[in-house]
Structure 1
């Protein structure tokens, strides 16, 4: 399933990082899910560059048959699309770069996470910079320039009261539309077909680039299962019992889905000496639009299926903030907090030793008890705790009891 050109032109906020990498690094690798807009971004930044895609079977065969000869036959500066299909090219790329270290000589794009393949780190260490392109964030879809994440970590959140009784609009629509450019402009029925075909293409064409899978149907069943479990602690035993697959297979398949950017495991936050913290990761579907399609949820279901939308909402927020870190601070670390007293924080953000917390609530009203998780995180982090936010469906930004914490309208993620 080749990446399609977007009908609407979106400003991709990772374009700056991409341009900077091209200016000083011989190999620039743009990684992200299939159909997230990688090819479109590269072609806009480098419209005259020679472009080769390994979705073309003839080119794929030629590159696999004679990797070095194939590369030597190309122009000095070239884009190689879907590089995960031809890992044999990586050692010859290293050889050619060592002969000529011109910045931006090779641009690689990949729909699988090459960094999880040992051969990549061995071949291109010190020669390659990786830029991650997520599906479109709501900021990019709305054309917003100032990110909520930047406001949070700069300590610029302030109380603001609007009219009482109002509720943020557009949240369900943002969740269900997701971030893949192609289905955004389609009618609902056409978009649903696109998601089904997308998942088919990833499983049938991309899985083989990262692993051998005997039963593709089992992998598809796991994707659908994880959509129902999104934002929950990963329970491999439960998944094994529900799907009739052994634990080893479940773990292996989840690793495959992570490599293909379909799911993410969000690790548990921890500190040395803290024994009462839960260590299990949470599992999140990366794109809320795909997850909503698998759950057969539409924006009109927002008030009818609150429990399922609650998990989707949390995964949506996690994805938005991880997206925003790409242009705010790519070194930020993300995790979740949960202890054995059932106190939890949906997202913990770390910058060096500094810590912030983000909670997500679907409701349009808040209670003092809603901030208990943030208060517990503040206690555990001590002097390193910088503040936090409780994102909810109300329209007022209100102070909470933990220091520098506020209840914040969820649409601040995409509106300034």
Structure 2
């Protein structure tokens, strides 16, 4: 594995710096934000990290003075000094020169009090999630374009079985990818999660029961890919539903989990249905669930939940890079037939993706997709069952069984 992976978002950041005063690179810790920001420093940018206690103290004591001397400033971990955002707004209002500030944040900075109002119209926001398989393999995926065209998916026929399990259980954090020893990967992940809870949670919200946060994270791991029941989750920890919702929101702001809202043909009904919750990195989820390459053969159901979050995260990354606007949902009807991921494009076209942690597929696996197709009518473009196999097989009009590797396979593979 290389020490440095080319990031698809590099060009987006560079383009934004040309025409926008403030560019925010948002994403979880250790996803590569600081590395990318340093790559873009050049000779005319000043770099300051708020992870340094002295630098943080200076930024907090005098936000305006902190910005004064640097013409083009990169500020790492800006969420640690929220007062800087107002000072940046003032500086930009006085001089809207493009590229003045490049910020990185390990929480959803826009969720901080007054942040969105302060920098509305002045800031471009780019999410940098852990590495996607297309970045690791340096391929160009046509998954979304082919799916919405109803075309036969591409496939990487070499990524099945043990190789496939390794990819899913490792996830996309660079530090996880560089550790070949699974024990060392597990140790890194545990230390990472411990640091997030002990340090970064305080940057996001006031949490009265900080000691419950590690337990909550483990409970959420057990519910990954399932409908969120705040009362049930909170009940396992002695928390009421309101507090459980708040604490889960903290993990969302830290880019550990993400809610997947339900899809409905009637847009107004989406708000009253129940979202699912997914972890944004399958490697971290696997560690929380104690699923490893040594145990996966006897824990296929649990591996299936990890795989579903893996696929959701990969699709989220692919959608984020496209110029078209995509929205992700899940589908579940009154008969409890489901589709794991529903992708809707700006024209209202629909693609359904079902995930199966098995090497075989049968017609029954398309039940939810056929229900979705019926609900969509002529908006339906394609239904895919992604599985642990190496070939693409048709299962009717615009229905395919395809390897999970279709997500990253280059055309012609």
TM-score by length of 2: 0.93
* Within-5 A mapping of 1:80-99: 80-99=75-94
Q: Gapped runs of 5+ residues in structure 2?
A: none
- 1:363 equivalenced with 2:358 (yes/no): yes
* Within-5 A mapping of 1:203-352: 203-272=197-266, 279-329=273-323, 331-352=325-346
How far apart are the structure 1 equivalents of 2:91 and 2:250? 30
Give per-residue Cα distances to partners, 1:83-102, cap 9 Å, x unaligned. Answer: 11111011111111112111
After TM superposition, give the deviation of residue 143 of structure 1 in Å.
Answer: 1.7
After TM superposition, give the deviation of residue 302 of structure 1 in Å.
Answer: 2.4
How far apart are the structure 1 equivalents of 2:193 and 2:270? 39
Please identify, of 317-326 and 94-103, the stretch whose mean Cα deviation from structure 2 is larger. Answer: 94-103
2:170 to 174, 177, 181: 177
Q: Gapped runs of 5+ residues in structure 1?
A: 1-5
Number of the residue aligned with 1:3: none
Give per-residue Cα distances to partners, 1:297-323, cap 9 Å, x unaligned. Answer: 112322210110111110000000101
| SS of corresponding position for 2:297 | coil
| SS of corresponding position for 2:131 | coil
Number of the residue aligned with 2:191: 197
How far apart are the structure 2 equivalents of 1:172 and 1:244? 35
Give per-residue Cα distances to partners, 1:134-171, cap 9 Å, x unaligned. Answer: 101111112222242333234332599989xx955522
* Within-5 A mapping of 1:397-412: 397-401=392-396, 403-412=397-406
- 1:354 equivalenced with 2:349 (yes/no): yes
Question: 1:88/1:275 Cα in 2 relative to 1: closer, same or farther (>3 Å)?
Answer: closer
2:24 to 6, 29, 41: 29
How far apart are the structure 2 equivalents of 1:246 and 1:111? 28
Question: 1:89/1:277 Cα in 2 relative to 1: closer, same or farther (>3 Å)?
Answer: closer
Question: 1:218/1:154 Cα in 2 relative to 1: closer, same or farther (>3 Å)?
Answer: same
Number of the residue aligned with 1:395: 390
- 1:100 equivalenced with 2:83 (yes/no): no
In the alignment of these two chains, the number of paired residues is 407
- 1:60 equivalenced with 2:21 (yes/no): no
TM-score by length of 1: 0.93
- 1:71 equivalenced with 2:70 (yes/no): no
